[in-house]
């Protein structure tokens, strides 16, 4: 079956630091890959996505590249802000399936 593994948190950073959250996946088909973000007390917001190998998703300074050879979709941001403090979820969707499979989430705290 499909599964997603992402690095455990929590991650605490200073403002303007570089952020990386690792994500690897297992899928039977050719999945789409997503990063969702959840701010305190809120639902999930789609941060970025990639639908095929070597695609790069980007949004709000965040980037992730779909690496089929390493089955990875690591999230990066070059200079984080306090407002980036949230829980980040990596997820996949297989075209032969009907659901999103999520990782456990990584809590990121950015200190001023």
Partner 1 sequence: ETGVTQSPTHLIKTRGQQVTLRCSSQSGHNTVSWYQQALGQGPQFIFQYYREEENGRGNFPPRFSGLQFPNYSSELNVNALELDDSALYLCASSLDSSYYGYTFGSGTRLTVV
What is the spatial distance between Cα 47 and Cα 45, in angstroms, rounded to a whole number?
A: 6
Cβ 5 to partner 1, closest distance in Å?
A: 11
Binding of partner 1 by 89 (CB under 8 A): yes
DSSP one-letter code for 48 = E
Asked if 2 touches partner 1 (CB under 8 A), the answer is no
Coil, strand, or helix at residue 82? helix
For residues 49 and 57, the answer to whether their CB atoms sit within 8 Å is yes
CA dist 111 and 30 (Å) reads: 38
C-alpha 17: how far from chain center: 18
- Residue number, 46 or 53, with CB nearest to partner 1: 46
| Contact string 8-47 vs partner 1 (x = CB under 8 A) | ------------------------x-x-x-----xxxxx-
Binding site for partner 1 (CB under 8 A): 4, 32, 34, 36, 42-46, 49, 51, 89, 91, 93, 95, 97-105
């Amino acid at each position: 079956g499909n599964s997603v593994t992402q690095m455990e948190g929590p991650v605490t950073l200073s403002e303007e630091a570089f952020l990386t959250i690792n994500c690897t996946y297992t899928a039977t088909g050719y999945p789409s890959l997503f990063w969702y973000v959840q701010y305190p007390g809120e639902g999930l917001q789609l941060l970025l996505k990639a639908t095929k190998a070597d695609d790069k998703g980007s949004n709000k300074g965040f980037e992730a590249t779909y690496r089929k050879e390493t089955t990875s979709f690591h999230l990066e941001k070059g200079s984080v802000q306090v407002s980036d403090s949230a829980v980040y979820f990596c997820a996949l969707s297989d075209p032969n399936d009907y659901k999103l499979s999520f990782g456990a989430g990584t809590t990121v705290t950015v200190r001023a």
